[in-house]
Structure 1
Amino acid sequence: MTVKIEHIEVCIDNIESLHYAQLGGATRIELCSSLALGGLTPSIGLMKQAAKISSIPVYAMIRPRQGDFLFSSQDIEIMLEDIHAAKQADLQGVVVGVLNAQSQVDSDVLCSLINEARGLGITFHRAIDQCTAPMAALDSIMSAGCERVLTSGLQPNALDGTGMLAKMVNYCGENLSIMAGAGVTAGNVTDIIERSGVQEIHLSGKSTRPSKMLQYTNQIHMGSSDVDDFSIPVTSAERIAAVIRSLEQ
């Protein structure tokens, strides 16, 4: 039996992965930098190149730094500029998330970001998974005019969060799409959808490839010594395709 789904969104942080995501069957791209940090704002160059070569909608992550979602006035100015850059690059949407010190949606800042993004699609990201009152957060997100919210159902992964995801789907109805993300694989995607009723899923399909350099020295590291600088993180087209096959079986 085929499980119906509206969108399979793949998050990527390099242009090579865009090709693989499309090859695997993605229907929308979340464009980031630094997926290892949860996803930060991509460069203007990456935005422009993605818009140039993508045959599916591309939404740019608007997150100026790692860490929490309580942003300073200067952070917000950066986010507004980055949204403008996404519009200038002819992307289809942006992905945002802002909270106040009480872990509630900062409606004033969110509305400012959405006003800057007028004409673009808007996804509210997993900042909602840090909210103390998720249903009130959904009210704020719907009132602001977002299209969807990306969430794991307030759990470390979407499979564990299916109970809350189902509550969110029922609560929002057709006013806001609930997109399940975090830990989605070919092995659990059907369970997540059947238990929660979501119509959109989000995943990275992450893998790595070895460096194509013919000679190099690896005595030093560009960052953490735990990171292999000669193992390149990329999206696996096969892992994305495997998720789609699971939905069709």
Structure 2
Amino acid sequence: MSVLVEVCIDSLESLPIAQAAGAGRIELCSSLATGGLTASAGYMKQAARISNIPVYGIIRPREGDFLYSSDDVEIMLEDIHTARRAGLNGVVIGALNADGTIAQDAVSEMIKAAGDLGITFHRAIDHCSAPFDALEFLMANDVERVLTSGLAKSANLGIETLKEMVSFTQGRLSIMPGAGVSPDNAKLIVESTGAHEIHLSGKTTRSSLMAYRNEKATMGNSDSDFDITVTNPDVIQRTINALR
């Protein structure tokens, strides 16, 4: 069985690294440290230009929960149009109601805005109070796949639910395990669940090339502004080899 490995990245630098390591698809994000936020228009456009594999852009306007205001939804709709204009292959979407059910109206608007782009529903499913009802809705609306940890902290811990999801969907959409996936557990997750795709970042850090450094000043919550997050090709390659 062939298993597609999707790699999530938050810099253009990581795209050719992931691609050369054998990634089958890219999830394009900014700020992986907050779970992944929408990439800028310029970032989307450059990624589409240099990639030889499909690129799906996450549409997530802020960190935190998936309960979005009408203004948030308008931002996401505009970002979906931006992804289309940039030449991306798909978008990664999700929204919930306050009671944890899928926000059908908002998600329907996003699906309509996506047009002929591919669609992944993201890990909002893992915060959903009725995940199998959500899967029914997504299948009825021709969503391609759902990225999920099986409602657990990691995909490895959510194996039983992931297996249920794969059985429930019967190939009408793809269940793509993600969260905590590594070369050490990818094969177990795939073989135990029957999934045909898997998702990871495989990230590491590299040192900044700055010669001058003022270590006293830092941006945000970072301990250092001189550690740059990038994809680790060794992790991606070892994951792919494990799945073979």
TM-score in terms of structure 2 length: 0.98
Deviations 1:9-48 (Å, cap 9, x if unpaired)? 0000100110111111000000001110000000001000
Equivalent residue in structure 1 for 2:229, among 233, 239, 248: 233
Partner residue of 1:34?
31
**In structure 1, C-alpha distance between the alignment counterparts of 2:212 and 2:176, rounded to whole Å:** 43
Partner residue of 1:116?
113
Partner residue of 1:246?
242
How many residue pairs get matched? 244
Partner residue of 1:106?
103
Partner residue of 2:151?
154
Equivalent residue in structure 2 for 1:204, among 201, 204, 226: 201
Instruction: Kindly state the Cα deviation for residue 213 of structure 1 after the two structures are TM-superposed.
Output: 1.1
Q: Percent identity?
A: 54
- Preserved CA contact (<8 Å) 2:3 2:243: no
SS in 1 for 2:39: coil
Partner residue of 1:145?
142
**In structure 2, C-alpha distance between the alignment counterparts of 1:188 and 1:198, rounded to whole Å:** 13
Instruction: Kindly state the Cα deviation for residue 5 of structure 1 after the two structures are TM-superposed.
Output: 3.3
Partner residue of 2:40?
43
**In structure 2, C-alpha distance between the alignment counterparts of 1:70 and 1:142, rounded to whole Å:** 21
Task: Give 2:127's aligned amino acid.
Answer: Q
Partner residue of 2:192?
195
**In structure 1, C-alpha distance between the alignment counterparts of 2:163 and 2:213, rounded to whole Å:** 50
Task: Give 1:215's aligned amino acid.
Answer: Y
Task: Give 1:150's aligned amino acid.
Answer: L
Between stretches 201-210 and 226-235, larger displacement belongs to 226-235
- Preserved CA contact (<8 Å) 1:92 1:121: yes
SS in 2 for 1:159: coil
Partner residue of 1:83?
80
Deviations 1:110-143 (Å, cap 9, x if unpaired)? 1110000001000000000001121111111112
Between stretches 211-220 and 90-99, larger displacement belongs to 211-220
1:217 aligns with 2:206: no
Task: Indicate the RMSD between aligned Cα atoms, in angstroms.
Answer: 0.8
SS in 2 for 1:212: coil
**In structure 2, C-alpha distance between the alignment counterparts of 1:89 and 1:243, rounded to whole Å:** 30
**In structure 1, C-alpha distance between the alignment counterparts of 2:95 and 2:195, rounded to whole Å:** 23
Q: Which ranges of structure 2 fall in alignment gaps of 5 or more residues?
A: none
**In structure 2, C-alpha distance between the alignment counterparts of 1:139 and 1:80, rounded to whole Å:** 23
Between stretches 115-124 and 210-219, larger displacement belongs to 210-219
- Preserved CA contact (<8 Å) 1:110 1:144: no
